[in-house]
Structure 1
């Protein structure tokens, strides 16, 4: 086989796999797949604390670390070594936990940087299949983003990233991933987080939401009345809104998709079925939606926060209040 033929064949095969995967996910509504239920892992209830302020951050971090340590002991006694290790890592004295709940799939909100002194704060909102058991990859994305922010910030500008695993994300292969139900449940929690961050940072800090995949649906459902400067949607299947203006007119609304992201093949439809909304409507990259579409490079669905990537560079520029490389506005 000639080299050029081999490359074309691989590209066709890659497109075929992505198309089949997209159809498989969309078909989950009609023929839902019930995978193995997540086992119940014992854990203490979350620490009961007053709303955090700049002056109480260290006490907040400490209380949630202690809760994670107890969750690790309980998971180990239950025989779940993987969860015990994940909880134990979060209990390390170096970690800054703004929230933690080890029950079920688990929730955590982790801070990277000095939040109390930050002038630029980026909130990372994850998509499907993110839990305490897969938290490592989400944390790696937040770390990469914080390094990029710190490297690109003007001298004297403080930066922080908040990794917000604050809702139960849907499984990729499930009916929940193509409805707005989880996002509707998550939206009040995201609004509460933004209110907490504004209380901690003060009125002058610039807050941005960077929303990946199903996380873009969450951000869209929460967007009304959020005190944020930017909302960036990456790898988005749609938002459930017809236009960027319907989300948050005073914020800059951005959208991007990598060249190898299979989400491109998800149909941009929306319908009310079985008492819920199925599908997420208008493609955020379409001119009709009206977002600022920025370059994301050649990456796939999980590559937006890869160190050195064009998408990460542009996301950091957005969070810093600069202008990303726009393909149309």
Structure 2
């Protein structure tokens, strides 16, 4: 994946700045880290200038505006799914007529009978919200929020993550769970300046909040809702968290949330953080700084005890391994969503 390759390059660069020991070594490593951080920013600024110019030669795939569909209720849920499948089918025809076979095929798959779409918009990179499981029966629901470089063209990998969590939950609590894969915002590119600021997250937050409130109205007050937020998606969740009616917020491979601590999220939910052993995000400087009239970086590492999250062991793997079937992380995610995660020495806390 582009994100994984870019992340490994970032980690390698960070590693080359380290290695010193002792107080003097720490200061030298800090200076090198600062130089590395400035160099990374400069490279991303340069990329941000080049990429839009090259993208201008590749117009976005045209698509019809989605039909207006009211927030679903238990009695209208199937009709809402059908309406959004019809939108995906129309978008597929437009994409095919435009000559974009890849997009057309992705949208045809989403339009297939049995797909449960809570939302769909084929314009630009595309947006889709898909349900795995039966929302009319579920009382344990996870809402997955993806990170950078996620779009209709790369949706299959996000779909696979949601399927993996759905299967894990179904084994533990058959008929009681559902997963909502929420690609409800225009994600930043991994190599771009937007991935270093909260701008895309700030745009996404009202949409995520609206989706959660609609789910809460549909599910009722007693159902458990968990936000599962990967990478830049954790920034989106951080900007959405203020008094949001969810029970748990899980931050996976998080570069930070934009807040200095759990208290800064203003959430009544339990906040969890996990990171795999080889995730390159661990090497990203957790700072916030003013640059070119905006704030760059996301502050405190959610794995840092000072942040105040309940941490859990996510096991081996890299930045894209959190939903790997059979992984330690997937086991813990299922326990959190079901409300059965534990607090023991060496486990979650």
User: Structure 2-normalised TM-score?
Assistant: 0.86
Q: Distance in 2 between matches of 1:28 and 1:136?
A: 30
TM-superposition CA deviations, 1:119-151 (whole Å, max 9, x none): 100000000000000000000000000000111
1:162 matched to 2:176:
no
Count residues in correspondence.
314
Give the CA deviation at 1:304: 0.2
Give the structure 2 partner of residue 323 of structure 1.
341
CA contact (8 A) 1:213 1:234 kept: yes
Aligned with residue 145 of structure 1, among 160, 165, 174:
165
Q: Distance in 1 between matches of 2:76 and 2:146?
A: 26
Give the CA deviation at 1:46: 1.1
Note closer, same or farther for the CA distance 1:77–1:319 as it changes in structure 2 (3 Å cut): same
Give the structure 1 partner of residue 46 of structure 2.
31
CA contact (8 A) 2:10 2:284 kept: no
Q: Distance in 2 between matches of 1:232 and 1:297?
A: 15
Give the CA deviation at 1:20: 2.6
Gaps of 5+ in 2: 1-6, 15-35
Q: Distance in 1 between matches of 2:255 and 2:142?
A: 21
TM-superposition CA deviations, 1:44-80 (whole Å, max 9, x none): 1011011111111001000000010000000000000
Which deviates more from structure 2 when the two are superposed, residues 47-56 or residues 36-45?
A: 36-45
Give the structure 1 partner of residue 332 of structure 2.
314
TM-superposition CA deviations, 1:7-66 (whole Å, max 9, x none): xxxxxxx97772338967654454334334263111110110111111110010000000
Q: Distance in 2 between matches of 1:328 and 1:62?
A: 41
Give the CA deviation at 1:221: 0.1
Aligned with residue 18 of structure 1, among 4, 11, 25:
11
Give the structure 1 partner of residue 284 of structure 2.
266
Q: Distance in 2 between matches of 1:107 and 1:233?
A: 22
TM-superposition CA deviations, 1:195-240 (whole Å, max 9, x none): 1101111111100000000000000000002100000000000111
User: Structure 1-normalised TM-score?
Assistant: 0.91
Aligned with residue 74 of structure 1, among 94, 103, 111:
94
**3-state SS in 2 of match to 1:306:** coil
Q: Distance in 1 between matches of 2:97 and 2:9?
A: 45
Q: Distance in 2 between matches of 1:327 and 1:236?
A: 19
Superposition map of 1:1-329 within 5 A:
18-20=11-13, 26-33=41-48, 34-35=50-51, 36-37=54-55, 39-153=59-173, 158-323=176-341, 327=347, 329=349
Gaps of 5+ in 1: 1-13
CA contact (8 A) 1:238 1:284 kept: yes
**3-state SS in 1 of match to 2:141:** strand
Note closer, same or farther for the CA distance 1:112–1:239 as it changes in structure 2 (3 Å cut): same
Q: Distance in 2 between matches of 1:268 and 1:64?
A: 40
Give the CA deviation at 1:188: 0.3
Q: Distance in 1 between matches of 2:8 and 2:143?
A: 32
CA RMSD between the two structures: 1.9
**3-state SS in 2 of match to 1:194:** helix
Note closer, same or farther for the CA distance 1:301–1:55 as it changes in structure 2 (3 Å cut): same
Q: Distance in 2 between matches of 1:267 and 1:88?
A: 41
CA contact (8 A) 1:224 1:248 kept: yes
Give the CA deviation at 1:322: 1.4
**3-state SS in 2 of match to 1:115:** coil
Which deviates more from structure 2 when the two are superposed, residues 112-121 or residues 266-275?
A: 266-275
Q: Distance in 2 between matches of 1:70 and 1:90?
A: 11
Q: Distance in 2 between matches of 1:249 and 1:95?
A: 33
